[in-house]
Structure formats: C-alpha cells, structure tokens
C-alpha cells in the first residue's frame, strides 16, 4: 500500500465571498478613473479621453452593484478581485466611450421599411450672347432692248372674210426686258453661350437592403445592447462562473 506524506503548510483556506460582503475599499466605487481625464487630441481638438463615460459613471456603478451584489467574486483575495476589475476597466474604457458616442445615433435605432430622400441643392446658370450680321451682296440689273411697231391695214368694208371695219391696227412689240442678279446675301451669327451647374445632389437611403419589418425589429431586440447592459457584461469575467445552488 502506498503511503502518502502530508506536509503542513501555512496557507489560508479559500472562502468564496459575494460582492456585497467584501470590504468597501475593494468595490467598484474605489476604482481609479483618472484614465477618463487623460488629455487626447482628436482632429486637432484637445479633449479628455472618456468624457461621455465619466458623465454616466455613477449610473453604471449603481447598476453594476444591483446586478453583481449576490455574485461570488473572482481571485484569491479581495485585493485580487479589485485588481481584476481595475484591469478590466482600463482595457475597455475606450470601447465603452465609443459605444456611447453612437448610442443615440440612427445606427442604434431599428429601421422599419425603406425610405429614400433626394435633396437637390443646385444652381443652373446660362449666359448667352448672340449676334447676327446680314450682308446684302445682290445686285439687280434691268436691260431693255428692241422697239415697238404699229401697223395700219386698210380693209374693204364689204369683204365677207373680214370685219366690217374699214381698217385694222396691229402692233408688233419688239421691247425686251432682261433682269440679271449678281452677288449673294450672307448671314453671319455668333452665339457665345456658357452653362454652369453648381451644387450637390444628395441621396439618403434608410436601409442598404429591403427586408421584412419583423426581421428588422427582431434583430434589433436580440442584438441591441444598452450601455448599462454592455458595461455589466464587460465585468463578467471578474466574477466566479455561475452555477446552480443545491440546497439540502
């Protein structure tokens, strides 16, 4: 039979504690939040690193204690647990700040249906300067030639083949009129037109695709996290895993 040698060591027994039972010095209210006030320059503007997170810090602390009050702390000692919480806050402060920046934007709201908005902010300017010049180069020349001849013929009055008149007058026209054109008419037009359109045309789409309203709403309800819920989940690993208590 194998014999085992047990050596006595100076090691305190581990006793699990709930968050509500630890010393106040190691609770979330005493975490170092100086990181929130560190200076940072964004787009040329100097500001603090986490101003939004600092503004809601007291709300987050109150809800943290409501949720974790009866949860068992992680770590071997209360101080270990406090250090784990401090590390968790330092590592996630920037992420919490970014969530707060978009929390009240349209990205955090459910989109039902589809809406398209087209906004025109344009100016159409047209300047025209038109000049028309007409040059007449046509020349008309009339030329007359020839002569007119008058004839007088005596006719017997009793001739059955002629008029009863005793005489007949006849005129032979030898007058000739000739019209000649020379040259051409010219039209010359100049149109100096300038058209300029300035401004913008903006199209806003309420959604990138079309999907049923219930899918949009259910997706929002399942995936949307309030800033309080996201804060609480961030500190989940600071506590012992959940388990089902068994009472005898």
Q: What is the pLDDT of residue 171?
A: 67
Q: How many CA atoms lie within 13 A of 82 on its CB side?
A: 14
205: left (phi over 0), alpha (psi -120 to 50) or beta: beta
Whole-angstrom Cα distance, residue 98 to residue 68?
24
Whole-angstrom Cα distance, residue 218 to residue 212?
10
Look at strands 149-154 and 167-172 and give their pairing. Answer: antiparallel
Tell me the whole-structure pTM to 2 decimals: 0.55
Q: What is the pLDDT of residue 121?
A: 77
Among the listed residues 55, 85, 51, 83, the one whose alpha carbon sits nearest the alpha carbon of residue 68: 85
For the chain, domain boundaries: 19-113+208-238, 118-200
pLDDT one-digit tens code per residue, 134-167: 777 666 666 666 666 666 666 665 555 655 555 5
pLDDT one-digit tens code per residue, 130-140: 777 777 766 66
Query: What are the mean pLDDT values of the chain's consecutive 10-residue runs (248 residues total)?
Result: 60 72 96 94 86 96 96 91 96 94 76 69 74 70 68 61 59 65 69 74 64 73 87 94 65
Among the listed residues 97, 100, 83, the one whose alpha carbon sits nearest the alpha carbon of residue 35: 97
Q: How large is the angle between the packed helices 78-102 and 227-234, nearest 10 degrees? A: 150
Among the listed residues 86, 95, 118, the one whose alpha carbon sits nearest the alpha carbon of residue 202: 118
Whole-angstrom Cα distance, residue 24 to residue 78?
10
Residue for token pair 């600071």: 238
Q: How many CA atoms lie within 13 A of 26 on its CB side?
A: 19
Contact assessment for residue 63 and residue 6, using Cβ atoms and an 8 Å cutoff: no
């Amino acid at each position: 039979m194998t014999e085992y040698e047990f050596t006595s060591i100076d090691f305190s027994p581990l006793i699990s504690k709930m968050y509500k039972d630890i010393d106040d010095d190691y609770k979330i209210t005493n975490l170092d939040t100086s990181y929130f006030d560190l200076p940072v320059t964004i787009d040329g503007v100097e500001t603090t690193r986490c101003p939004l997170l600092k503004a809601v810090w007291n709300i987050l602390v109150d809800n943290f204690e409501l949720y974790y009050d009866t949860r068992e702390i992680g770590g071997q000692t209360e101080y270990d647990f406090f250090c784990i919480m401090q590390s968790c806050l330092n590592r996630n402060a920037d992420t919490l700040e970014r969530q707060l920046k978009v929390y009240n934007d349209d990205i955090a709201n459910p989109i039902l249906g589809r809406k398209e908005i087209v906004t025109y902010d344009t100016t159409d300017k047209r300047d025209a300067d038109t000049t028309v010049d007409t040059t007449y180069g046509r020349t008309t020349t009339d030329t007359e030639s020839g002569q007119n001849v008058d004839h007088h013929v005596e006719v017997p009055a009793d001739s059955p083949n002629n008029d009863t008149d005793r005489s007949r007058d006849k005129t032979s026209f030898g007058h000739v009129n000739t019209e000649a054109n020379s040259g051409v008419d010219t039209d010359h037009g100049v149109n100096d037109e300038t058209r300029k359109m300035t401004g913008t045309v903006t199209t806003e789409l309420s959604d990138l695709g079309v999907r049923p309203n219930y899918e949009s709403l259910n997706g929002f309800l399942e995936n949307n996290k309030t800033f309080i819920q996201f804060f609480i989940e961030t500190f989940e690993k600071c506590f012992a895993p959940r388990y089902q208590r068994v009472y005898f």
